[in-house]
Amino acid sequence: MANISLNKQQQEAVAYTEGPLLILAGAGAGKTKTITERIVTIVKKGTDPRNILAVTFTNKAAKEMRERIVSRLEEEHIIEQENPYHHTPIVKTFHSLGLMMLSEQAHTIGLPKHPTILDSADSLSIIKQALERLGIDPKIHDPSKIRTIISREKGDFVSLREYREKVATTQMDIVASVWGFYNEELFKQKAVDFDDLIVRAVHMLEDHKTIRDYYQQRFSYIHVDEYQDTNRAQYAFVKLLVNPATNNICVVGDTDQNIYSWRGANLRNLLNFEKDFSGAKTVLLEENYRSTGNILALANTAIKKNTVRQEKNLFTSKDEGSPIELLPAWDEESEAEWVAEKCKELTNAGVEGNSVAVLYRANFQSRVLEEAFIRANVPYNLLGTKFFERKEVKDVMSYLRASINRSSQNDLKRVFETPKKGIGKATIAKLFASEPIPKSAEERIKAVYSFLDKILATLETEPLSHVMQMIIVDSGMEKEMLEGSSEDRERLENARELVSLTVRYDNVTGEEILTQFLEETSLQSDQDNDTEEKGGVRLMTIHASKGLEFDHVFVVGLEQDLFPHKNIGNRKRTKEEEEEERRLFYVAVTRARQHLYLCHAELRTIFGQKQINAPSEFLDDVDKETALEHDTYYKQGGGTVVYI
Catalytic residue selected from 31, 33, 413, 593: 31
Distance from C-alpha of 26 to C-alpha of 587, rounded to nearest angstrom: 10
Q: 304 an active-site residue? A: no
CB 368 within 8 A of CB 333: yes
Catalytic residue selected from 9, 10, 32, 230: 32
3-state secondary structure 187-225: HHCCEEEHHHHHHHHHHHHHHCHHHHHHHHHHCCEEEEC
User: How do strand 90-93 and strand 52-56 relate by DSSP bridges?
Assistant: parallel
Q: What share of the chain is helix, strand, coil (3-state, %, to 5)?
A: 50, 15, 35
User: How do strand 380-382 and strand 537-541 relate by DSSP bridges?
Assistant: parallel
Chain-centroid distance, C-alpha 438: 45
User: How much is the CA Rg of the chain, to the nearest whole Å?
Assistant: 26
CB 248 within 8 A of CB 38: no
Q: Within 13 Å of residue 468, how many CA atoms lie on the same side as its CB? A: 27
505-531 residues labelled b (16+ CB within 10 A) or e (exposed): beeebeeebbbebbbbbbbbbbbbbbb
Catalytic residue selected from 257, 347, 365, 418: 257
Residues 6 or more apart whose Cβ sits within 8 Å of residue 324: 294, 295, 298, 596, 597, 598, 622, 626, 627, 628
Amino acid (one-letter) located at 507: N
Distance from C-alpha of 545 to C-alpha of 587, rounded to nearest angstrom: 8
Cα torsion through 370, 372, 374, 380, rounded to 10: -50
Q: 31 an active-site residue? A: yes
Cα torsion through 343, 344, 347, 352, rounded to 10: 40
Q: Which helix (H) or strand (E) holds 508?
A: none
DSSP symbol at 165: H
Catalytic residue selected from 225, 331, 335, 519: 225
Q: 257 an active-site residue? A: yes
CB 387 within 8 A of CB 530: yes
CB atoms within 10 A of CB 324: 23
Q: 161 an active-site residue? A: no
Distance from C-alpha of 90 to C-alpha of 79, rounded to nearest angstrom: 15
Catalytic residue selected from 226, 331, 332, 580: 226
Distance from C-alpha of 332 to C-alpha of 362, rounded to nearest angstrom: 13
Distance from C-alpha of 341 to C-alpha of 293, rounded to nearest angstrom: 26
H helices of 361-511, in order, are: 366-375, 391-404, 409-417, 425-432, 439-459, 464-474, 477-482, 486-502
Catalytic residue selected from 591, 593, 604, 635: 591
Residues 6 or more apart whose Cβ sits within 8 Å of residue 489: 481, 482
Catalytic machinery residues: 31-32, 225-226, 257, 591
